[in-house]
């Protein structure tokens, strides 16, 4: 279950993991009326999803490019705790900057706020004029950074791809299908692999320490993803790892995340 916001009269924007792998999606609007979802568009790179609806139109939120977003900006979010209970919370932006996560995900300008989300993810983050700044994706445990929002600017940049008006660019990013975690003192360890994904098929496993990609040392997730994303689906990528005091080199044939999760 998650929240979403209307960006067009019959189109919702939300966090993509809320609908990833779903066979069907049910939508209930603030007017209490259900609407059928005719299409779901996913963007693994931004972490956004759009839902195209059938039925009565919804009032969309104001959405524009180039809004000034920086530390100290007052913001609020509107969400729901379940299908009927609506909730809101306010705070301010504390940081706009890089963010990396263990599911092969990275943003250059994630919005961090002091807002504690009182309900479901996927909710809109708004400025005091009610303009959409981002989609609340994650709750964080860092002081002063209690929620993370994906900038709505990314939706505007990727709208043609998300809505199906333009084919997704090819050949796309390489996808490995693993869960790397960076330690505070440097180094990246694999904590799990996606069943049936490229990493598992190649023999990478939880507990492996990642040393380098194609001979280039990697000490954190940003370096790791930067090297992986120089490659495309179908390419063979060499991973140097440490397992039980032995250094190994494993060639992984990169996958296409869109095809895998279709």
Rounded distance between C-alpha atoms, residue 236 and residue 239, angstroms: 10
What pTM, to 2 d.p., does this model score? 0.91
SS3 228: helix
pLDDT mean values, one per 10 residues, the chain (262 residues): 93 94 85 88 94 92 90 94 83 96 96 93 95 93 81 93 70 93 89 97 97 96 97 97 95 95 84
157 falls within a domain: no
Give the domain range for residue 226. Answer: 178-260
Boundary of a domain, candidates 97, 117, 152? 152
Q: How far, in Å, CA of 72 to CA of 10, rounded?
A: 33
- Which helix H or strand E contains 251, and what residues bound it? strand 246-253
Sequence length of the chain is 262
Which H or E run contains 148?
A: strand 145-151
Which DSSP helix (H) or strand (E) runs through 259?
helix 257-260
Query: Sign of the C-alpha dihedral, residues 109, 114, 120, 125?
Result: negative
**Spatial distance between the Cα atoms of 55 and 4, rounded to a whole number of angstroms:** 17
Q: Does some domain include residue 187?
A: yes
CA distance 29 to 194: 34
- Domain end, chosen from 152, 167, 193, is at 152
Note the pLDDT of residue 155.
95
Question: What is the model's pLDDT at position 183?
Answer: 85
Work out how many domains the chain is built from and give that number. Answer: 2
Instruction: Specify the pairing of strand 105-113 against strand 145-151.
Output: antiparallel
pLDDT the model gives residue 170: 58
Secondary structure class of 51 (helix, strand, coil): strand
d(CA 46, CA 56): 28
Assess whether 97 and 136 both reside in one domain.
yes
Within 10 A of 25 (CB to CB), how many other CB atoms are there? 17
Structure confidence at residue 160 (pLDDT): 85
204 shares a domain with 132: no
Domain membership flag for residue 217:
yes
Q: Is residue 130 part of a domain?
A: yes
Is 30 inside a domain boundary?
no
């Amino acid at each position: 279950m998650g929240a979403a916001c209307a960006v067009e009269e019959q189109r919702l924007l939300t966090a993509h993991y809320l609908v990833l792998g779903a066979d069907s999606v049910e939508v209930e609007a603030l007017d209490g009326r259900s609407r059928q979802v005719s299409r779901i568009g996913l963007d693994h790179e931004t972490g956004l999803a759009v839902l195209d609806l059938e039925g009565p139109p919804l009032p969309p939120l104001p959405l524009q490019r180039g809004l000034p977003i920086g530390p100290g900006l007052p913001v609020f979010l509107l969400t729901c705790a379940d299908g009927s209970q609506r909730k809101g919370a306010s705070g301010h932006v504390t940081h706009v900057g890089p963010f990396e996560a263990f599911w092969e995900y990275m943003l250059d300008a994630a919005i961090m706020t002091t807002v504690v989300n009182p309900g479901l993810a996927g909710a809109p983050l708004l400025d005091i004029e009610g303009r959409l700044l981002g989609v609340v994706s994650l709750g964080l445990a860092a002081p002063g950074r209690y929620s993370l929002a994906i900038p709505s600017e990314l939706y505007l940049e990727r709208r043609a791809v998300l809505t199906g008006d333009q084919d997704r660019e090819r050949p796309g990013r390489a996808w490995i299908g693993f869960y790397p975690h960076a330690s505070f003192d440097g180094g990246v360890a694999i904590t799990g692999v996606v069943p049936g994904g490229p990493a598992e098929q190649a023999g990478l496993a939880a507990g492996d320490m990642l040393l380098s990609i194609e001979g280039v040392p990697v000490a954190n997730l940003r370096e790791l993803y930067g090297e992986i994303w120089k490659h495309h689906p179908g390419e063979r990528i060499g991973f140097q790892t440490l397992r039980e005091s032995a250094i190994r080199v494993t060639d992984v044939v990169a996958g296409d995340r869109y095809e895998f999760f279709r």
